[in-house]
Amino acid sequence: MTKKVQFKIDHMDPLGQGVSKISDKIVFIPSTLPGEEGEAEILKESKGVAFAKLIHLTKKSPDRIEPQCPHFETCNGCHYLHTDYNHELNFKKNSLQKDFQKFEECCEVETLKAPSRMAYRNRVQLHYNKKIGLIGFHGYKSNRIIDAKNCQIFDPSMKEVFDDTIQNFQSLLKGEPLKGHIEIYLNGNEVKRTFNKPYSEGGFSQVNKEMNQRALDLISNQLEDSSTEGLILDLFGGSGNLTRGQKNSTLVVDIYPKDKTEGHQSFLNLDLFNENSLDEIIETVDRRAVTHLVIDPPRSGFKQLEEYVEAFRPQKIVYMSCKPSTMSRDVIPLQENYKMQKLVLLDFFPSTFHYEGLIVLERKTN
């Protein structure tokens, strides 16, 4: 039997879900907005927490709009299409500010909005099940495949290949497993697709080209005051994307192969989560030469950051993260010796709860 509850939304959580207190539980309900009331169906619950889906509203927020995409209510890809872009950005900004409320003298969040709310992704992944003849995206809190043929989130130049994949996936997947995924992505001006390969098999790139350039410009502005004698240490640097435009000598550290780094960049193939990684870097560079630390770790963050900062004592730290809560965890212990210069929301993923946070820390003179 399904369990239905009456709700009133108090606020939004960082995952773009409305939050309601019902009896003794905190209930998370997607596709709702603060102040809205209605009925929801509980999908999953445990002690003190429940997750539900919206059935209908009895009171709508004045900030609600008609979603631009027909799949919004069933697809788990976008989270804010039921309100306008400015409200979406405010929800994200409040979330980022809250992550850093424990940082003394925290800066006000600056927001770099995306030039387009839709039609920006240069990479999408479709899931399929040949046995039941479905291809699309996963639904909310399930692996159920949702129709995606009218998706509007990807770059328009990918549409022909996207539509062909949707229409002809059964014939395209001859010899492939009954269940799996297809990735469609832009490689320069060419649209490519892979079948059941690891994510970014053709080489990792940010999914939003325009926002990536804005991030590079921002980081360049923060690093341009560095002495030309100083060394930039670029941790989790991939192919050197974030420091490609710098003049200073740069050591890019990551486990990716060296294939696209620029002339001022050298590359150290190293797993930064290895317990001996710091010692290996110290053997490679003069620790006194490091003036700037650039870091862009995976969602799990980098708990070893404090050790690295203690070892190199950089003048400035630029940290970018797709999960600001782990970034906050990593940098708050540094505030005794570093002050926050800048806290920025880079909206790489409009229409979704995802975004990139960037913080700039400068070493205190005392």
Q: Please, what is the Cα angle at 129 between 126 and 131, to 5 degrees?
A: 160
What's the number of domains the chain is made of? 3
Q: What is the CATH number of the domain that holds 303?
A: 3.40.50.150
Separation between Cα atoms, residue 276 and residue 318, nearest integer Å: 23
Residue 145 lies in a domain: yes
Same domain, 248 and 165: no
57 Cβ contact partners less than 8 Å away, ≥ 6 residues apart: 32, 36, 37, 38
Rounded to 10°, the helix 305-312/277-284 angle is: 30
* Residue 49 CB neighbours (<10 A): 11
* Residue 328 CB neighbours (<10 A): 23
Closest-CA residue to 142 (of 46, 48, 74): 74
113-167 pLDDT, tens digit per residue, is 999 999 999 999 999 999 999 999 987 667 789 888 889 999 999 999 999 999 9
What is the extent of the structural domain holding 33? 3-63
309-349 pLDDT, tens digit per residue, is 999 999 999 999 999 999 999 999 999 999 999 999 999 99
Separation between Cα atoms, residue 234 and residue 316, nearest integer Å: 12
pLDDT at 227 over 60: no
Residue 82 lies in a domain: no
Residue 299 lies in a domain: yes
**Could you tell me whether strands 134-138 and 145-147 are parallel, antiparallel, or unpaired per DSSP bridges?**
antiparallel
- More reliable by pLDDT, 113 or 203: 113
Rounded to 10°, the helix 85-99/324-331 angle is: 30
Q: How confident is the model at residue 248 (pLDDT cuts 50, 70, 90)?
A: confident
Asked which of 195, 218, 235 is the last residue of a domain, the reply is: 195
Question: How large a percentage of the chain has pLDDT more than 70?
Answer: 95
Separation between Cα atoms, residue 37 and residue 56, nearest integer Å: 9
Same domain, 112 and 216: yes
Residue 74 lies in a domain: no
Using left for φ > 0, alpha for ψ between -120 and 50, and beta otherwise, residue 155 falls in beta
Asked which of 195, 226, 241 is the last residue of a domain, the reply is: 195
